Amino acid sequence: MLQKFYEYLRFEKRFSEHTLVAYTTDLEQFIVFSEVTTLQDIPQLKSVFIRGWIVQLMEDGYSNKSVNRKLASLRTLFKWLRKEGICVENPMSRIRGPKVEKRLPSFAREQELGSDRTKHLFNDDFNGLRDELMLELFYQTGIRLSELIGLSIQDIQSNSIKVLGKRNKERIIPLHTDLINLIKEYIQKKQDQFSPTETYLLLTEKGKKLYPRYAWQLVNQVLGATTTVQKKSPHVLRHSFATHLLNNGADLNAVKELLGHSSLAATQVYTHNTIEKLKEVHRKAHPRR
């Protein structure tokens, strides 16, 4: 029923596979609830019916955040239906999702991610070098998990990396000299061990493209061994990257570009940490402390 819509999301909106799966799940769930059988039936649904779906979702135990994500999928569908001339009115214009409490991003302290704390965790073989490189790329570039897995040899430049982000948006991230040397060392060992025709940067010990679960487990283990953070995922290293940059005086717009955010609002969530840093500096430095 929605195949043409999914093609629109994939080829025109350039949504990632992860986002496409989420939209498919959300909309199939809505179709089951609404019991519509054709695309033309969907515009007949009124806002009061959609509010009933919201109530049903919350009674089923979905969080406010999950409900809002499902409503976002539905909003995109109705916008497309209007674009295609299939419906005139958009019932989603009268829908407001449940309020979501804003959570502050989890991040590790700078000293917890120092090389003196992490270096001894890795062996000197190919696997150890790859794991160390993976951790440093996460922390020193703020790269997303999907972006890291998709890195190719061609993305490595003399002193930077080219990252393909959400909706195929490219960005360039500069690299520290130590990280450049680590990449060169890893690539040499990779070429010695595997066929040079393999274009992906990070490989398993069998020479296959690295899978996300492995990267997630590695970061979980490292953060568990070196930090006190409760959440232990690659995104915590992305949060740490942004927070530490801002705490050390980086411009907010520059951090936005490095993270690949489409709007400044998404980056501003990290500024609360710089405010805490300012409070600490004031407390230590002011004579009336």
Same domain, 58 and 119: no
Same domain, 115 and 250: yes
In the prediction, which pLDDT does 264 show? 87
Same domain, 221 and 251: yes
CB 50 within 8 A of CB 33: no
Domain stop point among 31, 66, 94 = 94
Domain stop point among 94, 123, 138 = 94
Same domain, 46 and 115: no
Task: For 242-279, give the DSSP string.
Answer: HHHHHHTT--HHHHHHHHT-SSHHHHGGGHHHHHHHHH
In the prediction, which pLDDT does 273 show? 66
* Distance (Å, whole) CA 261 – CA 234: 17
Give me the number of domains the chain comprises. 2
Query: Is a pLDDT exceeding 80 seen at residue 197?
Result: no
Residue 100 lies in a domain: no
CB 142 within 8 A of CB 259: yes
Same domain, 122 and 243: yes
CB 97 within 8 A of CB 74: no
* Distance (Å, whole) CA 137 – CA 241: 10
User: Rounded to 5, what percent of the chain is helix, strand, coil?
Assistant: 65, 5, 30
Q: What CATH number did the domain enclosing 137 receive? A: 1.10.443.10
Token pair in block for residue 224: 């568990």
Q: What is the pTM of this model?
A: 0.71
In the prediction, which pLDDT does 274 show? 67
Query: Is a pLDDT exceeding 60 seen at residue 137?
Result: yes
What number of other Cβ atoms are within 10 A of residue 195's Cβ? 8
Which tens digits make up the pLDDT trace of 268-283?
Answer: 888 776 666 666 766 7
Q: What CATH number did the domain enclosing 9 receive? A: 1.10.150.130
Domain stop point among 33, 62, 94 = 94
Residue partners of 118: CB distance under 8 A and separation at least 6:
132, 135, 222, 226
Same domain, 63 and 194: no
Same domain, 85 and 119: no
Q: What is the percent of the chain with per-residue pLDDT over 90, rounded to a whole number?
A: 62
pLDDT band at 14, cuts 50/70/90? confident
In the prediction, which pLDDT does 139 show? 96
How far is C-alpha 32 from the geometric centre of its chain's CA atoms?
A: 29
Number of residues written out for the chain: 289
The DSSP H or E segment spanning 41 is: none
Residue 33 lies in a domain: yes
In the prediction, which pLDDT does 277 show? 64
Same domain, 75 and 127: no
3 state DSSP class of 124: coil
Same domain, 117 and 251: yes
Find the mean pLDDT for residues 133-161. Answer: 94
Nearest to 81 by CA among 4, 22, 14: 4
Residue partners of 287: CB distance under 8 A and separation at least 6:
none
Residue 103 lies in a domain: no
Which tens digits make up the pLDDT trace of 56-97?
Answer: 999 999 999 999 999 999 999 999 999 998 988 889 988 999
In the prediction, which pLDDT does 271 show? 79
Which tens digits make up the pLDDT trace of 252-270?
Answer: 999 999 999 988 888 888 8
**Catalytic residue annotation:** 144, 166, 235, 238, 261, 270
Domain boundaries, position 26: 3-94
Residue 257 lies in a domain: yes
pLDDT band at 165, cuts 50/70/90? confident
Same domain, 236 and 122: yes
Same domain, 153 and 48: no
Pick the range with the lowest mean pLDDT from 88-102, 159-173, 233-247. 88-102
In the prediction, which pLDDT does 249 show? 86
Task: For 99-114, give the DSSP string.
Answer: P-PPPPPP---GGGGS
